Amino acid sequence: FIRDRTAAPYFSNIVWFIGKHIQELDTCVRNDADHQSQNRLADLVAEHLDHLHYINDILCLNITDLNHVLTDHLLHKLLIPLYIYSLTSTQRQSSTIDSATQSLSRISVTPRGSENNSPKVHDFSTGKVSCVVALFLLSQVFLILSHSPLIQTLSWIILKTDRSVFEKGVDKLLEYYEKEKEGKSLEDEASTQALSDVSSRDSSSSKENILDEQPNMNITDEEKQRLATTPTEGAASIDHPFLETVYTALDCSENDYAALFALSLLYAMANNPGVTSDITEQVLRPKKSFISKSMSSSKDVRYTYNTFLIEKILNIIILSCQPSCRVRLVTLELALKLFVQLIMCDGKNILLESHRSTIETAKTQSTALLRNFYKSEEIFLDMFEHEYCDMSKGSLNVEWLC
């Protein structure tokens, strides 16, 4: 009775109210070019975070029927049409984006500890918020919510959605996701069956496999490393419109405002307990696979990672070492946290030599820059020690950014 007669209209009103509040937040960001509404904007952000925590409290009750209704309303009427689809908004005037990013960044790096009757149609698909606001909102969703059915769907849509699918609308997008999920389940069952069949193969089958593998026996370590990379991840982002937008936001050539929110979103997705490894693997986490060795029953371990994203992060690191740096320390620190997660697997550093040399170059540049300050600033060592002590008191907590 509660699910059929009470939950649906109540959750529908909540979703509408949150959506209306978000559009008010976006309007405040767009119109705050002179930064006169920072207090108002901070209040709107704090109120939105309260809404997300309230939603999370309901989901954490683990009432299956209620969670199903709430998740359905959130996906169909708020998170996909208003949050995710705003990532592909074509109406991005530079002045509006600059105003939005700077306004949000002023409150995002500072820790912060009217009722309306809903209309007949609760639909936000016709309205979008600015791209940088969408990045900020989505990062908060992944930092606060952990309900697996909801988070799994959102992460798959952002990381895996094909351009041809998203253009068909929210309903078709969710239908496609359900089909993919069913297909994955069948594939897992088939893989399990295949593994059991492998153990019962006869020796003649093993000899055939050995002959097939002979051409690859003499490859060098460098060739193995090239095989370990997956260049298609970068190219595939062109066909993944939402992921492409996130990658584009990592450009810090002019400023790092959008990059901070993009990094927060990627980091939150990679570390959300509601997201399974099959979604983040090879995109936000390294992938581990096994290769059968010729003439032996043992297998080689192969590690791969998202080289395209690594190179985006390396660009941020390199830019942060320039004298006219436009990258804030918090952005650099978050980039490094994500960088380490992408290149560490089983306690091993799987970084390619080319990327390792880029890191060494950045280290050399930053050392040279520090050397100049050491010579020109009398109190440089005191300042350096003070900053180092502050950073050593505790690691960066992404939840504190907003």
Tell me the pLDDT tens digit for each residue of 348-392.
999 999 999 999 999 999 988 888 887 787 788 888 888 888 888
**Residue 93 burial (10 A CB sphere; 0-12, 13-18, 19+):** exposed
Q: What is the mean pLDDT of the chain?
A: 79
The closest of 398, 307, 290, 400 to 350, measured between CA atoms, is 307
**Shared domain check, 174 and 294:** no
> Alpha-carbon distance 4 to 381, whole Å?
67
**Shared domain check, 367 and 260:** yes
Q: How many structural domains does the chain have?
A: 2
- Show which of 154, 179, 204 is a domain's final residue: 179
- In this predicted structure, what is the pLDDT of residue 227? 44
Chain mean position to CA 140 = 11
- Show which of 128, 155, 179 is a domain's final residue: 179
Q: What is the pLDDT of residues 133-176, one digit of tens each?
A: 999 999 999 999 999 999 999 999 999 988 888 778 888 888 88
**Shared domain check, 225 and 108:** no
How many C-alpha atoms does 122 have within 13 Å on its Cβ side? Answer: 23
Q: What is the 3-state secondary structure (H, E, C) of 267-318?
A: HHHHHCCCCCHHHHECCCECEEEEEECCCCCCEEEEEECCHHHHHHHHHHHH
**Shared domain check, 38 and 149:** yes
Q: Which structural domain range is residue 145 located in?
A: 2-179
Is residue 188 one of the residues assigned to a domain? no
Q: What does the radius of gyration of the chain's CA atoms come to, in whole angstroms?
A: 24
- Show which of 134, 157, 179 is a domain's final residue: 179
The two three-digit tokens of residue 69, written as one number = 């209704």
Is residue 206 one of the residues assigned to a domain? no
Is residue 203 one of the residues assigned to a domain? no
Is residue 25 one of the residues assigned to a domain? yes
Read off the pLDDT band of 218 (50, 70, 90): very low
- In this predicted structure, what is the pLDDT of residue 69? 93
> Alpha-carbon distance 188 to 211, whole Å?
28
Residue 235: pLDDT above 50? no
Question: With contact defined as beta carbons under 8 Å apart, do 244 and 133 qualify?
Answer: no
Is residue 7 one of the residues assigned to a domain? yes
**Shared domain check, 165 and 17:** yes
Question: What does the pLDDT average to over 320-334?
Answer: 90
**Shared domain check, 90 and 47:** yes
**Helices vs strands, H then E, count in the chain:** 18, 4
345 membership: H or E segment, kind and range:
strand 344-345
Is residue 209 one of the residues assigned to a domain? no
Q: Which residues contact 134 (CB under 8 A, 6 or more apart)?
A: 83, 84, 86, 87, 89, 128
**Shared domain check, 272 and 388:** yes
> Alpha-carbon distance 374 to 127, whole Å?
53
**Shared domain check, 219 and 140:** no
**Shared domain check, 172 and 221:** no
Is residue 191 one of the residues assigned to a domain? no
- In this predicted structure, what is the pLDDT of residue 151? 96
Provide the greatest CA pair distance for the chain: 78
Is residue 199 one of the residues assigned to a domain? no
The closest of 153, 133, 105 to 272, measured between CA atoms, is 153
**Shared domain check, 224 and 174:** no
Read off the pLDDT band of 53 (50, 70, 90): very high
**Shared domain check, 174 and 305:** no
pTM of the full predicted structure? 0.79
Q: Which residues contact 214 (CB under 8 A, 6 or more apart)?
A: 294
**Shared domain check, 170 and 227:** no
- In this predicted structure, what is the pLDDT of residue 183? 73
Question: With contact defined as beta carbons under 8 Å apart, do 21 and 124 qualify?
Answer: no
Residue 113: pLDDT above 50? no
Question: What does the pLDDT average to over 254-273?
Answer: 94
> Alpha-carbon distance 39 to 35, whole Å?
9
Question: With contact defined as beta carbons under 8 Å apart, do 334 and 252 qualify?
Answer: no
- In this predicted structure, what is the pLDDT of residue 133? 94
